[in-house]
Amino acid sequence: MPTLAVIGGGAAGFFSAITAAEVNPDTRIHIFEHSKRVLAKVAISGGGRCNVTHACFDPRELVTRYPRGAKELHGAFHAWQPQDTIDWFQARGVALKTEADGRMFPTTDDSQTIIDCLTGEIEKLGISLHISTGVSKVSRQPHGTFTLHLSTSKTLDADRVIVTTGGGQASGGHQISRDFGHTIAPLAPSLFTFHIDDPLLRDLQGISIENASVRYAPAKLRQSGPILITHWGLSGPAILKLSAWGARVFQELDYRFEIAVNWLGDATIDEVRQRLEQAKSQYSRRNLGSANPFDFQKRFWERLLEIVSIKPDTQWAQLSKKHANQLAERIANTRFQVLKKSMNKEEFVTCGGVSLKEVDFKTMQSKFVPGLHFAGEVLDIDGITGGFNFQAAWTTARLAGLAASKGFPR
């Protein structure tokens, strides 16, 4: 009976092992997980609810959510995309629901539902799970099979290997891949929030500006969407997206850089000035503190006025040109110094990993070593927040599992 070894007991490891077992029940399959706990990231994902995938069903659109991996994932998504993930879980009794922003969660709002489903499947399919068993090295035998050297001092011979050790420094798969001649694209955290100490933000934590945008001009990076003021700076979808697209640039800058925020999304300074002019005639007798022409929360609007030294009891009719200009500039182009990054507790990933040029994306097989496959975050793939990282794990794992379970010599 041929043997398949899967290194790593996360989402990609489980999904590739399950796929292989479903396709070829005549394969002996082992999953090796070096920690005591499998699917640990699934457990904490999405704030404990597991954002399994995203309701985006057009591969062309879907790939635009991946700062790294878009080109390679395009074909892969034609083979396995969010609808396939939904159907797969549905067929195993796990219903997913879609939230207003497209994120999909189990209807139970509990990541344990996903864990129970995946662990139930591996039990049913007779896959051997070895916890507290790391793989420290993989060597290749002259006849093309592999020998895995385990942390238990034992070895295991396998015909095929799938590396699913995740991203980040703890991923043992990077060294294993390097040993086989693979290049590891430099690692950098993605999906983080910005530390900013600025009087405009102080004590305003919890306020969300729904249609804002943020820019890092030197790299021509711009993202729009809600921005959330936190007690340490800025977070929210627009900030997280900027952190993902700029992951490498910001790492090079040691997370010290200047951003510009437009609290109205894409309104120009001139357009804001015009809206202030209109407000002057519309609210002429009312004071600025009580008549706010934008949809900003009161505390945020009052702070904007304070920052440009406009007294809230100033009548709109009395708003000077100088103050109007300063206010327009603040609204459309507030500059902040980012001092450092903080990890986003809801979801974070590592960009970098096994170079995509060295992997065949139809089979997720190494272009150098037949029988060696990769899936999940160990690859140089990462998505923005919203369920895209798990979808990349399900898709690459599916392809790896299918290919690694086929074509054994009889």
Of residues 30 and 330, the one with the C-beta less far from ligand FAD: 30
Burial of residue 157 (number of CB atoms within 10 Å: 0-12, 13-18, 19+):
exposed
| Helical (H) or strand (E) element with 173 | helix 173-179
Check: CB of residue 20 under 8 Å from CB of residue 405.
yes
Check: CB of residue 370 under 8 Å from CB of residue 50.
no
Contacts of 58 (CB under 8 A, 6+ apart): none
Asked if residue 67 binds ligand FAD (CB under 6 A), the reply is no
Asked if residue 8 binds ligand FAD (CB under 6 A), the reply is yes
Applying CB under 6 A, which of residues 3, 6, 46, 303 lies at the interface with ligand FAD?
46
Judged by CB under 6 A, the stretch of 75-83, 263-271, 342-350, 360-368 that binds ligand FAD is 342-350
Asked if residue 82 binds ligand FAD (CB under 6 A), the reply is no
How far is the C-alpha of 41 from the C-alpha of 19, rounded, in Å?
20
Summarize the chain as % helix, strand, coil (round to 5).
35, 25, 40
Check: CB of residue 236 under 8 Å from CB of residue 201.
no
Applying CB under 6 A, which of residues 77, 88, 250, 348 lies at the interface with ligand FAD?
348
Binding residues for ligand FAD, rule CB under 6 A, total 38
Residues 125-164, interacting with ligand FAD (CB under 6 A): 134-135, 164
Applying CB under 6 A, which of residues 159, 358, 377, 380 lies at the interface with ligand FAD?
377
Asked if residue 50 binds ligand FAD (CB under 6 A), the reply is yes
How far is the C-alpha of 207 from the C-alpha of 313, rounded, in Å?
23
Which tokens sit at 312?
């809230």
Contacts of 378 (CB under 8 A, 6+ apart): 8, 12, 163, 164, 165, 166, 167, 171, 173, 174, 177, 353, 354
Asked if residue 398 binds ligand FAD (CB under 6 A), the reply is no
Applying CB under 6 A, which of residues 2, 4, 13, 196 lies at the interface with ligand FAD?
13
Judged by CB under 6 A, the stretch of 17-25, 85-93, 331-339, 343-351 that binds ligand FAD is 343-351
Asked if residue 172 binds ligand FAD (CB under 6 A), the reply is yes
Applying CB under 6 A, which of residues 387, 395, 399, 405 lies at the interface with ligand FAD?
387
Asked if residue 81 binds ligand FAD (CB under 6 A), the reply is no
Judged by CB under 6 A, the stretch of 2-10, 62-70, 202-210, 288-296 that binds ligand FAD is 2-10
Judged by CB under 6 A, the stretch of 9-17, 91-99, 238-246, 304-312 that binds ligand FAD is 9-17
Of residues 40 and 207, the one with the C-beta less far from ligand FAD: 40
Asked if residue 40 binds ligand FAD (CB under 6 A), the reply is yes
DSSP 300-322: HHHHHHHHTT--TT-BGGG--HH
How far is the C-alpha of 338 from the C-alpha of 317, rounded, in Å?
37
| In 128-180, beta strands by DSSP E | 128-130, 135-140, 146-150, 155-158, 160-163
Residues at the contact surface with ligand FAD, assessed by CB under 6 A: 7-13, 32-35, 40-41, 44-46, 50-51, 134-135, 164-166, 170-173, 347-349, 376-378, 387-390, 393
